[in-house]
Chains A and B, each alone.
Chain A
Amino acid sequence: MDKNKISEFFIEKGLFITAILSIIFIFLIISFILLEGLPAFEDYGFFNLLFGFEWAPTDGDFGVFPMIIGSIFVTLLSLLMAVPLSLLCAIFMAEVAPNKVRKVLKPVIETLSGIPSVVYGFFGLIVLVPIIRENFGGTGFSMFTASLILAVMILPTIITISQDSLRNVPHEYREASLGLGATQWQTIRRIIFPAALPGIITAIILGMGRAIGETLAVIMVAGNVVQIPNSIFDPVRTLTSNIAIEMGYATGLHYNALFATAIVLFLIIILLLLIANYIQHKYKVDIGGGSL
């Protein structure tokens, strides 16, 4: 009996250690990125780096502002394309579609989310870039092409999570509305959609996080010119692209500046998470349907 108690004790402590490891890893990741990135902020100046327009590592210029704009624009444009389609598809799957159709759509969406991002980028490079070049001019490597690819990549994220929150809306809501003589579309628009809104917003924010963090697929189609784009058919460079393109040969302060780029990316993502948390808390009280 005593032996059992001792081993139970050690098992519990061991499991506790595995549980706190994810916190330790976060801590390690953040400290190593900060350790390597802060020297660039110190040397070049926090505001110069954040709001500088010039990125010319050979001349010692490390302004990432065009890349911040690039990341934000590409992400917003991809959301603009992905959100309407994925919400319609989520509502279709959760509320309208018969079971048979749902059974076809579910694996389709799982497969879409399983395709490696490099394959999406490759598809964009081979298929979309020439199409855009022929129809809209320029090189075809553009903010628009990148957003299009990102939109496809974030579809499954937004569909899956918003579908879950639509399904979590209590049945009574639906029945009461239909019982009052509302049509199905009226019920969806006035009752179910508003009730599922917190979860849907979470879904959009998670999709946004995936879009802003995507690297190689964007590099392959965005053109990667460091500039503030004038039109959506201009090439752009995002924060993530900047790191991946130049890390291979960066040394000295340039190396640190790329880690600083990652810190900027981090700050933007933390901001997004805070907004997501705030929105969830604001809406959560009265419904409780918005899981995640």
Chain B
Amino acid sequence: MSIKLLSPKISQKIMNAVFILSGIITILILVLILGYILIKGLPAVNLEFIFGNPIDSGKSGGIFPMIISSIYVTIIAGIVATPLGVGAAVYMSEYSGENKITKLIRFGAETLASIPSIVFGLFGLSFFVIFLGFGWSILSGGLVLALMALPTIFQVAEVTISSIPSSYREGSYGLGATKWQTIYRVVLPAAIPGIVTGIILGMTRAISEAAAVMFAVGSSLSMPLSIFDPGRPLPLHLYVLATEGISLDNAYGTAAVLVIFVLAITIISNYIVDRYQDKIMGR
């Protein structure tokens, strides 16, 4: 026995309004957060801020060493995780078929993706910094981030490679190509847009991360000259500035630069992927 308070037509109208409202709220949340950070942060951002060294542990001065640290660790993460993730994806979609080992591998990647970043941080400290003796360095931080980016790259690449039509492969085999030639010349080029998207997703995850690297990169304020020097990526710098109450202005500026970085990577890569997709589709 249900009491009908509203006719179906009226409840349809109410729900439509609720749905539209939910969409508007979601957009408002983004506009509010991004708008606030950019409006408060952009006035602090100028050439001096971007290319200057921090003065007085970040109270004034710029964030150039942090920008370089961020780029360093992200590139290391990308260089290490890309071949591993794409290689694994090729193996899973082209060689193995479904068996117990592939199930285990997929489970491994899912687990790796669900490990909290602070646990990666602990692992980075005990394994890369202490056990392997890399010390607090850009290298240790980059390797931790590579582990975090790996499952993203692997999962996206696997989905993309599996979705390449088998007629592509058959055509290549028909011309007498070997399996690897087919993968290298036909399957991978066709899958590039998806693979690049996966790499970008993995690298934005890496560049945004602070908790995983806080015990691995060393949090030094000086410019890292080699990968064995300590550094302090942007998110970590923002965290320190904000929680230790060092400088609100510089925290706003750092947040704005970080957000612009992430947005720029996403937008540019989306554009490139679209262009490439048009090209190989012959549009």
A contacts, CB < 8 Å to B: 4, 7-8, 11-12, 14-16, 18-23, 25-26, 28-29, 32-33, 35-36, 85, 88-89, 91-93, 96-97, 101, 104-105, 108-112, 114-123, 125-127, 152, 155, 159, 182-186, 188, 206, 209, 212-216, 219-220, 240, 243-244, 247-248, 258-259, 262, 265-266, 269, 273
Contacts and interface: CB of A to CB of B under 8 A. Distances in A.
Contacts of B121: 243-244, 247
Interface of B: 8-9, 11-12, 15-16, 18-23, 25-27, 29-30, 33-34, 36-37, 40, 83-85, 87-88, 90-92, 95-96, 101-102, 104-105, 108-109, 111-112, 114-123, 125-127, 131, 147, 150-151, 154, 178-180, 204, 207-211, 214-215, 235-236, 238-239, 242-243, 248, 251, 255, 258-259, 262-263, 266
A119 to B, nearest CB: 5
Chain B facing A: main interface SS: helix
B123 A213 contact: no
Contacts of A28: 123, 127
Contacts of B23: 89, 92-93, 97, 101, 105
Nearest to B211: A215
Nearest to A125: B242
A122 B242 contact: yes
A20 B89 CA distance: 11
Contacts, number: 240
A162 B36 CA distance: 29
A289 B29 CA distance: 30
Query: 10 closest pairs, A vs B, by CB?
Result: A213-B116, A18-B87, A116-B208, A88-B22, A15-B91, A92-B19, A19-B88, A23-B108, A215-B211, A19-B91
Contacts of A111: 30, 34, 263, 266
Contact of A216 (B19, B26, B239): B239
